[in-house]
Amino acid sequence: MTTTVEAIYEGGKLILPSPLPLPDKSHVTVTIETHAPDSDGQRAVWLELSEQSLMKVWNNTDDDIFNELLSK
């Protein structure tokens, strides 16, 4: 099972926003990805650009025809 959660590092500990649905003493692997101060702003811009590009591909009439054929 893979779960991604955000946490705050404080005083040598990772503080989670809420408990995880795991039994006590569960062994887990933790991957740390730090965020630069303005990376959230850049991330939002990249996500918006990605969504616009993907919508050009996803939002087309060819998909509607394919979906009709699948439902038959």
Give the Cα separation of 18 and 3 in Å (integer). Answer: 13
Please indicate, yes or no, if residue 38 is contained in any of the structural domains.
yes
Q: Give the number of domains in the chain.
A: 1
Please indicate, yes or no, if residue 56 is contained in any of the structural domains.
yes
Please indicate, yes or no, if residue 3 is contained in any of the structural domains.
no
Please indicate, yes or no, if residue 1 is contained in any of the structural domains.
no
Please indicate, yes or no, if residue 58 is contained in any of the structural domains.
yes
Instruction: Please give the backbone phi and psi of residue 13, each rounded to the nearest 5 degrees, phi first.
Output: -130, 150
Amino acid letter, residue 66: F
Give the Cα separation of 39 and 52 in Å (integer). Answer: 20
Asked if the model's pLDDT at residue 70 lies above 90, the reply is no
Please indicate, yes or no, if residue 33 is contained in any of the structural domains.
yes
Instruction: Tell me the pLDDT tens digit for each residue of 14-33.
Output: 999 999 989 999 999 988 88
Please indicate, yes or no, if residue 2 is contained in any of the structural domains.
no
Domain of 13, in residue numbers: 8-71
Q: Taking the model in full, what pTM does it have?
A: 0.42
